[in-house]
Structure 1
């Protein structure tokens, strides 16, 4: 049976890994949504162009908040392109998607992140790290609102 200290350090390492996945996902989303912002075309150009700008700025902010939280907890956030790509659970897109495909992929990514944040929140709470759990809850709530709005845009 693990000693209490060993159990705590394992959970801390697990939490930092989960947070690094979030850093990597937000970094990839920043690039992906910025790409959507540049390449969106069609009758919803203006609306989506503005919305994508709002969303990639939010992604940048969240990536920074999580990385700083990792540092505050004594860890090291992933920061190289190689580390980001290896740690992310979402995938890059190539240019050429239509507006509806962009929104659909964004909904899928956000739903994945909502689920992963829920798991990270549970680990943080189990470790007694209410600060991290609260930070993730705010981000998760924002994503849930985005998913609702983006699905409404798609007519779902």
Structure 2
């Protein structure tokens, strides 16, 4: 794996790590009439995000690269921002998650393109799977926000 691709996958990993913690924050602090539905949905999202985090780190390891593995490292490069701990209404929660999922999808698309140019087909395949999952999540969230 070339250095540029390795760096981009590590930044993606950092964004997944920040998103994983952010989803927990939102899960614990959502309020409002849709609390139960949003609270439970967020749990499914962070469970799935844990799998993406692990698979992405293992993808780096399989290609002889060192994945970032600390919040300090994640926060130094992540483009997805942390969220302060405070109550958040269900609608704002879903908009926050939608924005983050759209950002992750854009990043996965960019990595997929770069990996394809380098004939790094394991990375291409992983990103295509992630993009498919982001598409479904984005559709779910947009439907919830109508």
8 Å contact kept, 1:100–1:154: yes
- Structure showing greater radius of gyration is 1
Q: Does 1:80 align with 2:70?
A: yes
Name structure 2 gaps, 5 residues minimum: none
Moved segments of 4+, more than 6 Å: none
Is 2:133 aligned against 1:142?
yes
1:97-148 deviations in whole A, cap 9, x for unaligned? 2111111011111111111111100111111111111111111111111111
State the aligned residue count. Answer: 145
Could you say which structure has the greater relative contact order, defined with CA pairs below 8 angstroms and 6 or more residues apart? 2
* Distance in 2 (alpha carbons) for counterparts of 1:55 and 1:138: 15
The aligned counterpart of 2:4 is 14
When the two chains are superposed, the root-mean-square deviation of aligned CA atoms in Å is 1.1
* TM-score after normalising by structure 2: 0.95
Q: What is the TM-score with the length of structure 1 in the denominator?
A: 0.89
